[in-house]
Structure 1
Amino acid sequence: MDWKQTVTIMSDKLFPGLSHKIDEKLIGNEVLSNLPLQISLYFNVIFLPIWLIVITLFLYDQFNCFNELYKFIIITIIISLYSLEILRLYLGYEGNLRDKIPELAGFWMLSILLQLPLQSFLLFNPYLKLKILEIIVQSVMFLLLLFEIFSGYFALKYTSKMQTVYFRISNINVTRNKAKNE
């Protein structure tokens, strides 16, 4: 095995999707992941523990001020937000770095259908009486979510377009090989 082949194999393991093989022929070295989405996912992963600590401290500090129904709603929202955020970030990383359309679509739908309403509730509900630190932290999380929704849409659109091109190229190669064999 020569040096070029070794570097190619190692880069494929470290950076999946860097080279695409169709019929065992290397046909390009293009990274299809969306850089703005990847950067926002990275900052979201870094910011997630800070957000969780601040929200937990807020809950601990003001828990006795709420009535029983609000206590139940707040605890349910925070637990579901945290678990959905971990799943959403995993799907975002997996879909973006490995060019997997189902994971990227799952990330995008979780962001719009579940995370956006729950984050909006925590940020814009006047009965929570958020302090300035909680407003800042929740606003950063909300802005990251909005940016991920927009960049995730364009990443999904571009990835699906590129996967369609690769599918058509592989179909053309398959029909050529069948025509040669006959």
Structure 2
Amino acid sequence: MPVFYSPVPENLQMGLAYMGGSVFTNNRTMDSDFNREQEDASVVNELVSHLPLQMLLYFNLFYFPCWWFSAVFMLEVKYYHLPGYYQALLITGLVLVTVIEVIRLYLGYIGNLKEKVPALAAFWLLSFTFQLPVLLFFITDEGVIILPLERAVHSIYLIFLLAQILASFLALRTMTRKLTLLFHLRQLGKVESMRHAEMSPIYGLPYNRSVLPVSPTH
């Protein structure tokens, strides 16, 4: 007995292929989105705090009171042997260094431990533009009558400061790279999600258009 095969309508074949492709492609998309979320989470959870910078800040926190008492004592010893303008400059410089140092150490701790780029950038700027010039003035200008103890404590403080400037620069570069990577990952995720939401991955057909046979409406 002959068997007759009725051909499947072409629009029905297209509809079935579209449905199957959408299901399996959406599964792959969900897997890729899950992997991307895992990668993004690993980048977010990665700690980029700079350990050498944190150690320098910790030791500087204990050394600064010793430096301050030594500087005040040396200033009192030589105060009346200095011209009037050097007296004013040294007092102003000591006050500025004291105030800025408190703010600088706070910004360094917050910026490094909590990975806040603006705070760490402010720490670097204060170190490079305020503390370093004043300290170089204390240690290089012979008109201020540099005493041996003063030269020693200023030299140690200068080493701390230069090391912190270098370490904070490296920490800023690492944190900036992390933020840039996160930005690109999130932008890539948005672009792909928009692309999948608007276009069919197989035939390039919009998702809101159907190729299934539609009964004519009267």
- SS of 1:27's partner is helix
Q: Show the counterpart of 2:143.
A: 127
Tell me the CA shift for residue 65 of structure 1: 1.0
In structure 2, distance between residues paired with 1:116 and 1:134 = 16
Q: Show the counterpart of 1:38.
A: 54
Tell me the CA shift for residue 180 of structure 1: 6.2
CA shift digits 1:83-125 (9 cap, x unpaired): 1111111111111111111111111111111111100001111
Q: Show the counterpart of 1:145.
A: 161
In structure 2, distance between residues paired with 1:84 and 1:123 = 18
TM-score, normalization: structure 1?
A: 0.79
In structure 1, distance between residues paired with 2:101 and 2:162 = 14
Q: Which runs of 5+ in 1 are unaligned?
A: 1-21
Q: Aligned AA for 1:121?
A: F
**Aligned partner (choices 168, 171, 177) of residue 187 of structure 2:** 171
Aligned length: 160
Q: Aligned AA for 2:182?
A: Y
Tell me the CA shift for residue 181 of structure 1: 6.2
Q: Show the counterpart of 1:5.
A: none
User: Structure 1 residue 136 and structure 2 residue 166: aligned?
Assistant: no
In structure 2, distance between residues paired with 1:142 and 1:90 = 19
Rg bigger for which structure?
A: 2
In structure 2, distance between residues paired with 1:65 and 1:178 = 75
Q: Show the counterpart of 2:102.
A: 86
Q: Show the counterpart of 1:114.
A: 130
Compare relative contact order (CA 8 Å, sep 6+) and give the higher one, 1 or 2.
2
Q: Which runs of 5+ in 2 are unaligned?
A: 1-36, 199-218
Q: Indicate the percent of aligned positions where both proteins have the same amino acid.
A: 32
User: Structure 1 residue 104 and structure 2 residue 120: aligned?
Assistant: yes
Tell me the CA shift for residue 72 of structure 1: 0.8
What RMSD in Å do the two structures reach over aligned CA positions? 2.0
Tell me the CA shift for residue 76 of structure 1: 0.4
